Amino acid sequence: MLSSNEANTKVGVVYRVVCDNPGCNHTFELHIGPENSRVLGQTIACPRCGRGGGSLKPQGKIRDKYFSAKLVFRGPATDFAPSDDELNFYPSS
């Protein structure tokens, strides 16, 4: 049986992550080791609300090998193009 210290060194680091999706705010732990370190550079989904495309943003260190992070999402894509009416709203004099 592994002690808690041996288990922590085997895991690597732990991120306590808070989902930044409005209305979710789910907190979960993400265990990062050498075999899954690529997760830090990829987008991930929240396990509760299921919203994909989130990026981890570090928030600080809690204790040795234990960090906090936010799972942040980009805002909705907006293709704003003014209509002809909006372009001609202020006629040139």
pLDDT, one tens digit per residue, over 8-43 is 456 699 999 999 998 999 999 999 999 999 988 899
Q: Which pTM value belongs to this model?
A: 0.66
Residue with the larger pLDDT of the pair 23 and 5: 23
pLDDT for res 75 = 72
Asked whether the predicted pLDDT for residue 1 surpasses 90, the reply is: no
Residue 39 tokens, joined: 């997760």
In angstroms, the CA 70 to CA 79 distance is: 27
In angstroms, the CA 50 to CA 31 distance is 19
Return the beta strands (E) in 1-93 as ranges: 13-19, 27-32, 55-63, 66-72
pLDDT at 80: 53
